[in-house]
Amino acid sequence: MTPLDSKYWNTRYQTKKTAWDIGYAAPAIVTWLLTLKTNNPLKIAIPGAGNAYEAEHLFKLYPQHQVYIFDIADEPLQAFSTRLPQFPKSQILKANVLQLGKSFDSFFDVIIEHTFFCALHPNLRTRYFKCMLRYLKPGGTLVGLWFNDFFNALEPPFGAHKHEYLKLIPSEFKIEIFETCYNSIPARQHREWFFKLVK
């Protein structure tokens, strides 16, 4: 299997093999963000952000929050920086989210999941959840979308079914929401779970 490294993902962007990229912020996440009724500044992470449309939405509509985007590919991060030059460069991070240093331990109030989990090889899923727990503050939220589909075992996206997610979620997380997403984009209707986990 081809290594899922920065070269792989840069090539996907360069050749426009980016079916996961819908070109705008996911409606389900935009809707959930309306529930963040706080003027207190939050630290919000978007791992595997790609073109980071959710980050752009947050930055424009909720400027009080600090949004950090992570990706291992240069292409989408450079595109985002060009598209939104006023976004703080220190919060655009080329990094492997599963290898962040201790400075990010208990750092984030919210982590938004959108097509990062499905980009990881299934053997990294346990590590994914351990990292999400590490990076969230006590009471912090992991929220977003997971595919309710298996797809294939050869290359991303790597899907799963509900019972598989439930087996993976650590007991340190309280499952507040895990339901069929009612406002998926048309191509993903009935194929996504919307979830909210609280540490």
SS3 2: coil
pLDDT at 96: 97
Query: In the predicted model, what is the mean pLDDT of residues 131-154?
Result: 93
pLDDT at 2: 67
Q: What is the pLDDT of residues 29-55, one digit of tens each?
A: 999 999 987 778 999 999 999 999 999
pLDDT at 36: 85
DSSP single-letter state for residue 89: G
Give the closest residue to 151 by CA, choosing from 136, 164, 169, 140: 164
Query: In the predicted model, what is the mean pLDDT of residues 139-146?
Result: 98
Domain layout of the chain by residue ranges: 6-15+26-33+40-190
pLDDT at 147: 94
Query: Per CATH, the architecture of 6-15+26-33+40-190 is what?
Result: 3-Layer(aba) Sandwich (3.40)
pLDDT-based confidence at 188, cuts 50/70/90?
Answer: very high
Residue 24 has pLDDT above 80, yes or no: yes
Query: 3-state SS string over 111-161?
Result: EEEECCHHHCCHHHHHHHHHHHHHHEEEEEEEEEEEEEEEECCCCCCEEEC
pLDDT at 135: 99
Q: What is the pLDDT of residues 87-99, one digit of tens each?
A: 999 999 999 999 9
Percent of the chain residues past pLDDT 90, beyond the cut: 88
Residue 53, Cβ neighbours under 10 Å: how many? 21
Residue 6 has pLDDT above 90, yes or no: yes
pLDDT at 150: 77
Task: Please tell me which of 40-44, 108-112, 189-193 the model is most confident about, judged by mean pLDDT.
Answer: 108-112
Residue type, 168: L
